[in-house]
Amino acid sequence: MIKKHLSIIWGTKKNAIIPEAVTGFSVNELDRNHPIIQLQEQVGAHSIIFNHQVHGTIGHIIHNKETIGTTLLTEEGDFLITNQPGIALGILTADCLPLIMYHPEKHLVALIHAGWKGAVQGVIQKAIDSLKKEYAIDPASLTVLCGPAAQACCYQVKDDFYTHFKDDPNKPNYFETREGKLFFSLSAYANGILDSYGIPTYQRDFSAHCCTICSTDYYSYRKDKKTEYRNITLVSLK
């Protein structure tokens, strides 16, 4: 049903990009065969926007085409929100969690880049609170989709990583221990946040949430030795 309202692309290695190669460029300056242009056309968007991601909690609300910056990846931010059809929102990931939130009554969408640093700082909450403040929505009405990211099957962390969650009573739900090694589930942490806003589990679609580390279809910062390539996630309202 969500496909009636959104055009979504979970990008793979086939259409991945190196962010530095397009930073500061106008979309109009890109070759028509560039992955960004091809994906923009696939979602049927007349405009496209990417933030310069900084693993923080800043985001931007796109009210109309005129508010979009003329250059790519220059304005800092880790989430984008719009209620305007035809504007493609984009983020770049290589293990971080891409989250799409859609509100059916208001017909608006948010796209969130949630690495562990941004997630711990509250980027998911900040995006939801921005939706509440700007559009007076009930978060419990949101539909949430989760894309490819590092998962607990492969996402090994050092023991002191646990201290980032020392004040969180639910932290045991975010970790697995196998053979004396600690593994982190970013999606479990995100689900805990969604729980706190009363978003029902049946309104969460994690069917695209495969592991970027053990899958060969995606670039992974950990698996591919700090690769410069990033997988693209795009979403546009129809």
Lowest mean pLDDT: which of 34-48, 78-92, 113-127, 213-227?
34-48
Tokens representing 89 are: 């929102």
Q: Which helix (DSSP H) or strand (DSSP E) does residue 68 occupy?
A: none
Confidence (pLDDT) at 65? 61
Nearest in space to 164 (alpha carbons), one of 193, 192, 189: 189
Find where tokens 């679609």 sit. Answer: 205
Q: Which fold has domain 2-149+186-237?
A: CNF1/YfiH-like putative cysteine hydrolases (3.60.140)
Q: Phi/psi of residue 80, each to 5°?
A: -130, 145
Confidence (pLDDT) at 167? 86
Residue 13 half-sphere exposure toward CB, CA atoms < 13 A = 11
Residue-averaged pLDDT of the chain: 93
Tokens representing 2 are: 């969500």
pLDDT 10s digits, 10-60: 999 999 999 998 888 888 888 888 999 899 999 999 888 999 999 999 999
Lowest mean pLDDT: which of 71-85, 134-148, 190-204?
71-85
Find where tokens 């979403």 sit. Answer: 235
pLDDT 10s digits, 146-172: 999 999 999 999 999 999 988 899 999
Confidence (pLDDT) at 66? 56
pTM over 0.75: yes
Strands 47-50 and 175-178 come out as: unpaired
Domain ranges (residues) in the chain: 2-149+186-237
pLDDT 10s digits, 192-229: 999 999 999 999 999 999 999 999 999 999 999 999 99
Q: What is the 3-state secondary structure (H, E, C) of 8-43?
A: EEECCHHHCECHHHCCCCCHHHCCCCCHHHHHHHHC
Confidence (pLDDT) at 68? 53
Res. 104: pLDDT tops 60: yes
Q: Phi/psi of residue 184, each to 5°?
A: -110, 140
Q: What percent of the chain has pLDDT over 70?
A: 97
Confidence (pLDDT) at 223? 96
Mean pLDDT, range 175-188, rounded to an integer: 96
Confidence (pLDDT) at 16? 96
Confidence (pLDDT) at 73? 80
Strands 79-82 and 59-62 come out as: parallel
Res. 69: pLDDT tops 70: no
